Structure 1
Amino acid sequence: MPESLDAVVFDIGNVLIHWDPRLLYRKIFTRVDMTADEGMVDWFLATVCTTEWNIEQDRGRSIAEAEAEAIGRHPDYAPQIRAFYGRFQEMIPGEIPDTVAALRQAKAAGLPLHGLTNFGRETFPQTAARFDFLRSFDTVVVSGDEGVIKPDPAIFHILIERAGLDPQRTAFIDDSAANIRSAAELGFATHHFADPGAFTAWWKAAGLPVG
């Protein structure tokens, strides 16, 4: 860990805000007793609106193109497919308090803050409108705007150049091990976010601002 860090870069989904498509599809796929049909939820997210399908929106594909592609494969599920982005905010129940508190403390202390996120170019603005702290970054690089996604080093280089970062003096927090590996190879001081308690301990050990 460097003696002092000059900036912090946060991932967003499942670092600053919770994101889980199952939250929406448990509402959509319900049994007659109004309990979630977990089997249908699993099938739909593994077969129709898959992780790989969603990643293409993170890479810049439009929602209209994505819906057309998925409906072409599964026309009987057109309403459920359109719900993925039509009701996208229902997948985001709220913020993750520990990381948001750290972000606010760093902001109050005047530490430069940046965001680097795999997020669709159409869904990020509506999400940022919900959460004020997502509008507090000095720089935010959104994969859907750039046409490249983490863990590709190219998107890290976009942020480094745009924000004028020295990776050796910059903290990077992400929930993806692959993204953490890419950042570490570029010299960032990394934390793989999996547990709020472990994050708080790391944040303090790094000498970052605490309220």
Structure 2
Amino acid sequence: MTMVRQATNDVAGTNGIRDVVFDFCGVLLELNYRACLEGHFPQETVDTLCADEKDVYGFFAAEGRMDAGEDFTDVIEDYRNRYGDDMAAMFSFYIDHYDDALPKMVDGMEQLLIDLRKASCRVWGLTNWSDETFHFAFEKFPQLKRLLQGTVVSGTEKMHKPNADIFNLTLNRFGLEAEHTAFVDDTQANVDGASNVGITGIRFISAPETRNELRRLGVRI
């Protein structure tokens, strides 16, 4: 798979990219459900949950509700009523031990942030993440908090990618100009959402490919 530039902004000279906004999980941080759940719950259940794209346990839909701003107490009540006590215990454990599902930063991304800052390119975060669990990210990876110059969290704002409102909020809050901003995400729908408001969207594949794409956009790193 190759990385595709999603917008046609003028990136020559001083009219190029001045700000880069990064998604978190899958871009800056690795997310590994198994690392959190294995050894605590039946292996068959963990295997099904981690391999099942249809989300038959409703696990990721419940997490998505929290990412969109709903409180855990409301989500878990509905979840227990639908999926039972055992699955509710599994989901509660996952939320309480969310940091165990974040094993490390994605290879090469810390250095990319450092190099962008050295090149006088500002770096920001925009993530679909629950307000109740986002603190784990900066607690476990304080270097990420130091490097990013601000982060918009969907669960805090009660709006989420790929909708235009959260991209416009990010632009306005940080004083960004869409035509001079790039957004990096591993989900195509979110990349398209950024492009729809005039931001240059980059589909994340790896740190080296992201670095090369930013160079093609005129960023001197």
TM-score, normalised via structure 2 length: 0.83
In the TM superposition, what is the alpha-carbon distance from 1:49 to its structure 2 partner?
Answer: 4.6
State which of 6, 14, 27 in structure 1 corresponds to 2:39: 27
C-alpha change, 1:95 and 1:68, in structure 2 (3 Å) is same
CA contact (8 A) 1:29 1:41 kept: no
1:11 aligns with 2:23: yes
- After TM superposition, list the pairs within 5 Å mapping 1:132-147 onto structure 2: 132-135=142-145, 136-147=147-158
1:142-194 Cα distance to aligned partner (Å, 9 max, x none): 00011011000000010111111111111110111001111112221221002
Which residue of structure 2 aligns with residue 202 of structure 1?
213
Q: Distance in 1 between matches of 2:184 and 2:114?
A: 15
For 2:134, the equivalent position in structure 1 comes to 124
158, 173, 182: which is aligned to 2:184? 173
Is the Cα contact below 8 Å between 1:98 and 1:200 reproduced in 2?
no
Q: Give the secondary structure class of the aligned counterpart of 1:190.
A: strand
Q: How many Å apart are 1:105 and its aligned residue?
A: 1.2
Question: Which residue identity lines up with residue 198 of structure 1 in the other structure?
Answer: E
Secondary structure at the aligned position of 1:149 is classed as coil
For the Cα contact (< 8 Å) 2:20–2:122, is it kept in 1? yes
Q: For 1:58, which of 44, 67, 74 is the aligned residue?
A: 67
**CA separation in 1, counterparts of 2:97 and 2:113?**
27
Q: CA separation in 2, counterparts of 1:95 and 1:89?
A: 12
Q: Which residue of 1 aligns with 2:163?
A: 152
Q: Which amino acid aligns with 1:105?
A: D
Instruction: Give the deviation of 1:76 after TM superposition.
Output: 3.3
Tell me which moved more, 174-183 or 129-138: 129-138
What runs of 5+ residues in structure 1 fail to find an aligned partner?
Answer: none
Flag structure 2 segments of 5+ consecutive residues without an equivalent.
Answer: 1-8
Supply the distance in 2 between the matched residues of 1:23 and 1:106 (Cα, whole angstroms): 31
Between 193-202 and 83-92, the greater mean CA deviation after superposition = 193-202
Identity %: 23
Distance in 1 between residues matched to 2:99 and 2:46, nearest whole Å = 21
- Which residue does the alignment assign to 2:103? 93
- 4+ residue runs over 4 A deviation: 40-43
Distance 1:97 1:62 in 2: 32
Q: Give SS of 2:112's match.
A: helix
Which amino acid in 2 is paired with 1:17? L
Superposed CA RMSD in Å reads: 2.4
Alpha-carbon spacing, 1:36–1:66, altered in 2? closer, same or farther (3 Å):
closer
Pairing 1:113–2:110 present? no
**Which amino acid in structure 2 is aligned with residue 110 of structure 1?**
S
